[in-house]
Amino acid sequence: MLTKARGAMLTKAEIEQYRELGYLVVPGVFDAELLAEIRRAVDAIIADAGKVTTHTDVYDLEESHTPEKPRVRRIKTPHKHFPFFAELTRNPRITGVLAQLIGSDLRLHGAKLNMKSAGYGAAVEWHQDWAFYPHTNDDVLATGLYLDDCDMANGPLLVVPGTHKGPVYDHHADGYFVGAMAPEIEGLDYAKAVPLTGKAGSMTIHHARLVHGSALNTSSKPRRLLLHEYTAADAWPLMGVANFDEFNGRMVLGKPTIEPRLTGVPVRMPLPPAPFQGSIYENQRAAAKRFFASAAE
């Protein structure tokens, strides 16, 4: 069941929750019509996955993928390959909400669609997005649009409230960045994690420093989550700007600036780079230990 799309405005209490706890679920951001259009676009991309045997620029594949039984873990950077998804990153229903949280000059950092398919959709180990892309200030967040109803059974995003105000945790193993935190960390209780459940069309929002992850989907229902990462225009990536025009081309609202705002944020660079490249799932293969089960029993 889909709730009717609501106006994009957040209440004072929602804004306060984001500031204090670092996350929100905004129900009914996208209506049934747009959601159906997105699902059709996703199905069309997935329909071609049987043509590939290995990860590509578009597909990140489950380890059990074969061309006969295609299993896509993620559609990578859909906004770079498909104009429909590029347009979606600028949707006013999203940017209107974000303007209330991090201002009306907004840049897209990246996008991805995690498929978490029924029966085998991969887990994502605990991590902070900030460990992957530290910026000059932390007005940096990710939105997640649920394309399917998401409850406890099909692998909701799990977030540890308030951790966006804490340290940047170690995401390294054997001296390399692996994009995953250890399964046990002193002073951090993963049992305090809150599941971000919601109906299809709901949008999750999490601060880039918030600790989060999600479990394997062993249920009979898929859980597709379209993630967009956004920054305030004056938050500049500490890993640098490779192409200034491309950087400015990612503005989704308002104006760019060449005056980065510097604040006292904790930073740990994602270097040396992960031994396995291509996606967070690949990066995390090099983690010393896992918290979540990695494959269905």
List residues near ligand AKG by CB under 6 A. 114, 116, 124, 157, 212, 214, 225, 227, 280
For ligand AKG, the closer of residues 114 and 202 by Cβ is 114
Pairing between β-strand 124-127 and β-strand 212-214 as defined by DSSP bridges: antiparallel
Q: d(Cα 203, Cα 26) in Å, to the nearest integer?
A: 5
Shortest spacing between CB 50 and ligand AKG, in angstroms: 23
Shortest spacing between CB 280 and ligand AKG, in angstroms: 5
Shortest spacing between CB 56 and ligand AKG, in angstroms: 18
Q: What is the 3-state secondary structure (H, E, C) of 70-102?
A: CCEEEEECHHHHCHHHHHHCCCHHHHHHHHHHH
Shortest spacing between CB 283 and ligand AKG, in angstroms: 10
For ligand AKG, the closer of residues 95 and 279 by Cβ is 279
Q: In a 3-state reduction of DSSP, which class is residue 27?
A: coil
For ligand AKG, the closer of residues 105 and 274 by Cβ is 274
For ligand AKG, the closer of residues 105 and 138 by Cβ is 138
The tally of CA atoms less than 13 A away on the side-chain side of residue 22 is: 23
Shortest spacing between CB 183 and ligand AKG, in angstroms: 16
Shortest spacing between CB 179 and ligand AKG, in angstroms: 8
Q: d(Cα 28, Cα 149) in Å, to the nearest integer?
A: 11
b or e along 208-233 (b: 16 or more beta carbons within 10 Å of the residue's beta carbon)? bbbbbbbbbbbbebbbbbbbbbbbbb
Residue with the closest Cβ to ligand AKG? Answer: 214
For ligand AKG, the closer of residues 65 and 74 by Cβ is 74
Asked if residue 217 lies in contact with residue 293, where contact means CB atoms within 8 angstroms, the answer is: no
What are the tokens at 73?
Answer: 């873990």
For ligand AKG, the closer of residues 97 and 210 by Cβ is 210
Shortest spacing between CB 213 and ligand AKG, in angstroms: 7
Written as one string, the DSSP assignment of 211-260 is -EEE--B-SSS---EEEEEEEETT--BTT--S-HHHHHHTEEES---S-P
For ligand AKG, the closer of residues 18 and 23 by Cβ is 23
Q: d(Cα 119, Cα 207) in Å, to the nearest integer?
A: 29
Shortest spacing between CB 274 and ligand AKG, in angstroms: 13
Q: d(Cα 68, Cα 199) in Å, to the nearest integer?
A: 32
Which of 1, 292, 296, 294 shows the shortest CA–CA distance to 146? Answer: 1
For ligand AKG, the closer of residues 105 and 173 by Cβ is 173
